[in-house]
Amino acid sequence: MIGARILLESLKRAGVEVIFGYPGGQVLPIFDQLYDFDIKFILTRHEQGAAHAADGFSRATGKVGVCLATSGPGATNLVTGIATAYMDSIPMVAIAGQVGTHLIGNDAFQEADVTGITRPITKHNFLVKDVKDLARTIAEAFYIASSGRPGPVLIDIPVDVQRAETEFIWPEKIEIRSYQPTYAGHPGQIKKAAKLISSSGKPIIYAGGGIITSGAHLELRRLAEKIQAPVTTTFMGLGGFPGTHKLSLGMLGMHGTAYANHAIMESDLIIAVGARFDDRVTGRLDTFAPYAKVIHIDIDPSSISKNVRVDVPIVGDAKNIITQLLKQIKKAPDTQAWLKTVEAWKKKHPLTYKHTGKMLKPQYILEQLWDLTKGDAVICTEVGQSQMWACQWYKYLAPRTFISSGGLGTMGFGFPAAIGAKVGLPDKEVFNIAGDGSIQMNIQELATCVANKINVKVLIFNNGFLGMVRQWQELFYKKRYSYTSITSPDYVKLAASYGALGIRVTKKSEVRKALEKAIEVDNTVFVDFRIEPEENVWPMVPAGQAINKMIDGLA
Amino acid sequence: MRHTISVLVENKFGVLARVAGLFSARGYNIASLAVSETLDPSISYMTMVVEVKDTDVLEQIKKQLNKLIDVITVTDFTKREHIDRELVLAKINYAAKDKAKLEAIFNKFVGKIIHHKEDTAIIEAVGNAEQIKLLLEELSKFGIKELVRTGKLAISN
């Protein structure tokens, strides 16, 4: 069997249903095999779109996403997508063609050192120099991508390896002596954590993306209810705990809720699960949660005690550990007074916005979207103000319903990620909450949607600005709006020219109808919401400040 | 402070780049690095000396090294009994009259003249960090023209 065929047979054995990609000179043997192979292939209009789509597919389904591109520029176009997946620990396998082995290092046409370029942004990568190694390498790539703390793995396959013949042997079991992730938590540490929880008075659960990766949302809920502790999630953790639950504090951090930030700052115990105390969460580190002891549960030992000193570190899988912890907690702490305090913060500092003027408010659109869908939708986002509003004003009830680039903050992610999510979950309504800046970064994927009937609903919060940067310029750079005012095409006409539907909304009264129409139409829809141009995201913690020093421009 | 770490890795192409990349990406400096095959040719042994400000950074380095897929084990010799050695080759100014003086030096240190030609001798010496430092002070009195060092090797005892 030739290498190209071995690749596809291996992908099938690894459970791959769909590949997102783009052809080119050094992957011709693979595409020749794809021509009549029983695996779905989605041709995007840009390799970056393929990488984000594979990522979105993975985030929506929990399966490993796969993208494929040719050598050189094809592979370098995947780079942003790979880095995005890496920062958010998303399991993905990226396959790149490479020039023939005899040409590697010769500055051959469309050659780039792709394993070199992607080394710091992949969990691992491979250059396959011998076709005999191909099947095992693919099996290892899938194992590495999806186990432990997941992440993207790149496989670089020279074109002569794709053409070379060997016997196809699929390894049923993969063992890597140098890679053995820890899943079970240390029982002694779990006991210690249980004691600390029982003796706490103001505990708070701080839950991150690890809850979603490990599928620990039900266990998390049981834990919160058992110990009656409020739960705040990170951006990556949205959906890991129901946003409507009475113990939910929503998201914390820079644009988190004021009550979540107050609660974590005043807490005497932080139970961190699958979160990494990122700078957007902690604000100024030396002021962060001064009274709190910290229990930190994470599968990646390098995340523990990296930013915040931890009293009880527990390395392992969140679901396993919470299950064990639930058994070990003999006595629930008395948190009645604490919950009252938290409730008072909720009343005193709710999320809010002003319905002033005639202009449309983005928060209102999201409220309407919530009202229409009640959490039964997949919300993808781009990056910036629209993304932060989507975190604040929509409630996520289940894991994998919020898909957004957290760590890297990649503009242009949301639209192709929504395509991947819709391919993975065809029966779900998939929205992309976009700004007029971000949507223009991968707008070419409209063609992918229409050609493949992947109907996603893109809600563009069009304010004529790169809004988040403009907000910072307004607040910290004396309103010197340096290159943040931008123009857009006519999105209604643009959508129509691709064969999609465009709707323009300028008035509050039109919002509901437009959303209903977008849902009802059996096509990809762009809704161009003309929103208040200088609306800000509140509340906000200025960079480098303590997270309870929030500013709120509404006063 | 300087710390000695050894790392057992898979003997594959690109592994050194992964280890080096981990340091360069975080702005950590490697003071010395020695790499070679072990008895098992599929495994390489790296001894590295790293200069770090505090033990938190050292902990991060060890965790990050462990996170690399091709790294099998990481050993930190900071709080572990171990023996370390370094091999030095030095080209020094040499005249026949210096022979006695050099021999006196080699009574104190493990070393010898392995080559000499005209006014130059090549010295080979082995020792721990302190011994090498003292030896080099002695040799500098003759004038060192060129110096190469393996970097530290360490083994636990």
What are the tens digits of pLDDT across the range A447-496?
999 999 999 999 999 999 999 999 999 999 999 999 999 999 999 999 99
* DSSP structure class, residue A246: T
Looking at the domain assignment, is residue A62 inside a domain?
yes
Indicate if the pLDDT at residue A70 is higher than 80. Answer: yes
Which two tokens mark A215? 């599928």
Residues A29, A160: Cα–Cα separation, whole Å: 9
Closest to A461 measured CA to CA, from A390, A406, A548, A521: A390
Instruction: Please name the amino acid found at residue A151.
Output: G
Does A309 contact chain B (CB < 8 Å)? no
Both A387 and A513 in one domain: the answer is yes
- Are B23 and B29 in contact by the 8 Å Cβ rule? The answer is yes
Residues A453, A498: Cα–Cα separation, whole Å: 12
Both A333 and A192 in one domain: the answer is yes
Residues B64, A452: Cα–Cα separation, whole Å: 42
Beta-carbon-side half-sphere exposure of residue B65 (alpha carbons within 13 Å):
26
Looking at the domain assignment, is residue A175 inside a domain?
no
Residue appearing with tokens 């023209």: B145
Residue B96 is predicted with a pLDDT of 85
Which two tokens mark A428? 């779900």
Distance from CA of B71 to the nearest CA of A (A): 6
B67, B68, B71: which to substitute to probe chain A, counting the most A Cβ within 10 Å?
A: B67
Residues B70, B7: Cα–Cα separation, whole Å: 10
Q: Which of A292, A315, A348 is the last residue of a domain?
A: A348
Q: What is the CA radius of gyration of chain A?
A: 24
Q: Which of A293, A326, A348 is the last residue of a domain?
A: A348
Looking at the domain assignment, is residue A541 inside a domain?
no
Residues B23, B50: Cα–Cα separation, whole Å: 9
What pTM was computed for the model? 0.96
Instruction: Please name the amino acid found at residue A374.
Output: K
Residue A305: list chain B partners with CB under 8 A: 56, 59
Indicate if the pLDDT at residue A555 is higher than 70. Answer: no
Ranges of chain B whose pLDDT falls below 70: none
Long-range contacts of A438-441 (CB under 8 A, 24+ apart): A438/A382, A438/A383, A438/A384, A438/A386, A438/A411, A438/A412, A438/A413, A438/A414, A439/A382, A439/A414, A439/A415, A440/A486, A440/A488, A440/A489, A441/A382, A441/A411, A441/A412
Residue A330 is predicted with a pLDDT of 95
Both A17 and A122 in one domain: the answer is yes
Looking at the domain assignment, is residue A429 inside a domain?
yes
Closest to A244 measured CA to CA, from A13, A96, A401: A401
Of A120, A176, A177, the CB nearest to B21: A120
Helix (H, G, I), strand (E, B) or coil at A13: helix
B69, B70, B74: which to substitute to probe chain A, counting the most A Cβ within 10 Å?
A: B69
Residues A339, A289: Cα–Cα separation, whole Å: 17
Please name the residues in contact with A297: beta carbons below 8 A apart, sequence gap of 6 or more.
Answer: A185, A193, A210, A271, A272, A273, A274, A314, A316, A318, A321, A322
**ipTM entry:** 0.90
Pairing of strands B2-10, B29-37: unpaired
CATH of the domain at A306: 3.40.50.1220
Indicate if the pLDDT at residue A552 is higher than 60. Answer: yes
Residues A94, A7: Cα–Cα separation, whole Å: 12
Pairing of strands B82-93, B153-156: antiparallel
List phi, psi (to 5°) of B152. -75, 140
- Are A82 and A50 in contact by the 8 Å Cβ rule? The answer is no
Both A443 and A522 in one domain: the answer is yes
Does A301 contact chain B (CB < 8 Å)? yes
Q: Quick one: average pLDDT of A118-136?
A: 98
**Are A119 and B59 inside 8 Å of each other by CB?**
no
**Are A116 and B9 inside 8 Å of each other by CB?**
no
Residues A248, A342: Cα–Cα separation, whole Å: 10
**Are A127 and B66 inside 8 Å of each other by CB?**
no
Model confidence at A313, in pLDDT bands (50, 70, 90)?
A: very high
Q: Return the biggest CA–CA distance within chain A.
A: 72
Residue appearing with tokens 């899988």: A317
Of A115, A116, A302, the CB nearest to B60: A302
Please name the residues in contact with B57: beta carbons below 8 A apart, sequence gap of 6 or more.
Answer: B28
Looking at the domain assignment, is residue A58 inside a domain?
yes
CATH of the domain at A382: 3.40.50.970
- Are A82 and A118 in contact by the 8 Å Cβ rule? The answer is yes
Both A303 and A220 in one domain: the answer is yes
Closest residue of chain B to A115, computed from CA coordinates = B14
Lowest mean pLDDT among A23-27, A92-96, A97-101, B117-121: B117-121
Residues A84, A195: Cα–Cα separation, whole Å: 38
Both A508 and A366 in one domain: the answer is yes
In total, how many domains does chain A have? Answer: 3
**Are A120 and B25 inside 8 Å of each other by CB?**
yes
Kindly report, as residue ranges, where domains of CATH 3.30.70.1150 are found in chain B.
82-156
Indicate if the pLDDT at residue A554 is higher than 80. Answer: no
- Are B142 and B98 in contact by the 8 Å Cβ rule? The answer is yes
Indicate if the pLDDT at residue A167 is higher than 70. Answer: yes
Indicate if the pLDDT at residue A357 is higher than 80. Answer: no
What are the tens digits of pLDDT across the range A426-455?
999 999 999 999 999 999 999 999 999 999
Residues B74, B57: Cα–Cα separation, whole Å: 15
Instruction: Report the C-alpha dihedral over residues A449, A455, A459, A465, rounded to 10 degrees.
Output: 0
Q: How far is CA A293 from CA A148, A229, A234, A269, A409, in A?
A: 26, 15, 19, 5, 30
Range B2-76: architecture per CATH: 2-Layer Sandwich (3.30)
Both A150 and A15 in one domain: the answer is yes
More confident residue, A99 or A551: A99
Closest residue of chain A to B67, computed from CA coordinates = A302
Per cent of chain A over pLDDT 90 is 96
Does A179 contact chain B (CB < 8 Å)? yes
Fold of B82-156: Alpha-Beta Plaits (3.30.70)
Of A116, A178, A301, the CB nearest to B72: A178
Residues A367, A325: Cα–Cα separation, whole Å: 37
Question: Is the alpha carbon torsion for B65, B70, B73, B77 positive or negative?
Answer: negative
What are the tens digits of pLDDT across the range A318-347?
999 999 999 999 999 999 999 999 999 999
Both A137 and A31 in one domain: the answer is yes
Both A88 and A141 in one domain: the answer is yes
Q: What is the CA radius of gyration of chain B?
A: 18
What are the tens digits of pLDDT across the range A377-416?
999 999 999 999 999 999 999 999 999 999 999 999 999 9
Per cent of chain A over pLDDT 70 is 99
Q: Quick one: average pLDDT of A347-355?
A: 92
Interface of B with A (CB under 8 A): 9-10, 13-14, 17-18, 21, 25, 56, 59-60, 63-64, 66-67, 69-72
Both A427 and A369 in one domain: the answer is yes
Total Cβ atoms within 10 A of residue B134: 14
Looking at the domain assignment, is residue A353 inside a domain?
no
Which two tokens mark A175? 């063992």
The interaxial angle of helices A217-227 and A318-328, nearest 10 deg, is: 30
Does A119 contact chain B (CB < 8 Å)? yes
Which two tokens mark A209? 């993306």
Mean of all residue pLDDT scores within chain A: 97
Both A319 and A390 in one domain: the answer is no
A141 lies in which domain range? 3-163
Residue A119: list chain B partners with CB under 8 A: 14, 17-18, 21
Looking at the domain assignment, is residue A296 inside a domain?
yes
Looking at the domain assignment, is residue A545 inside a domain?
no
Residues A385, A390: Cα–Cα separation, whole Å: 8
Of A119, A178, A302, the CB nearest to B63: A302
Lowest mean pLDDT among A91-105, A136-150, B111-125: B111-125
Strands (E), A6-82: 18-21, 40-43, 65-69
Please name the residues in contact with A173: beta carbons below 8 A apart, sequence gap of 6 or more.
Answer: none
Residues A204, A224: Cα–Cα separation, whole Å: 9
Kindly report, as residue ranges, where domains of CATH 3.30.70.260 are found in chain B.
2-76
Both A16 and A52 in one domain: the answer is yes
What are the tens digits of pLDDT across the range A222-232?
999 999 999 99
